Amino acid sequence: MPTDPPPEELRLVVDLNRCQSYGQCVYAAPTVFRFHGEEALEYDYAPDPGTRREVERAAAACPVQAILLARATEPAPLAPERAR
């Protein structure tokens, strides 16, 4: 019997040069994006996988398309143990 796949990691970054603080992402995913002051956007680069649909809506709603969501399926690079 198939089991549910583990929740995928969610990674994002906002190009804050391109960002014009329209705030659509804050409406779409309020636990991931927030304003500090009137115009300074802050966000979580690795939000809970349960917010994926909200985050995808936020990325789609950004008027300047400043939100990049991860597409890589490779495992994250790890340092060799001896280098830690």
What residues make contact with another protein under the rule CB under 8 A? 11-13, 15-17, 19-22, 36-40, 42, 44-46, 68-74, 76-80, 82-84
Q: Which is nearer to another protein, 12 or 28 (CB)?
A: 12
DSSP 8-state class, residue 18: T
Cβ(54)–Cβ(12) below 8 Å: no
Smaller CB distance to another protein: residue 13 or 53?
13
Alpha carbon 75 to its chain's center: 17
Nearest distance from residue 4's CB to another protein, in Å?
23
Phi, psi of 49 (to 5 degrees): -55, -25
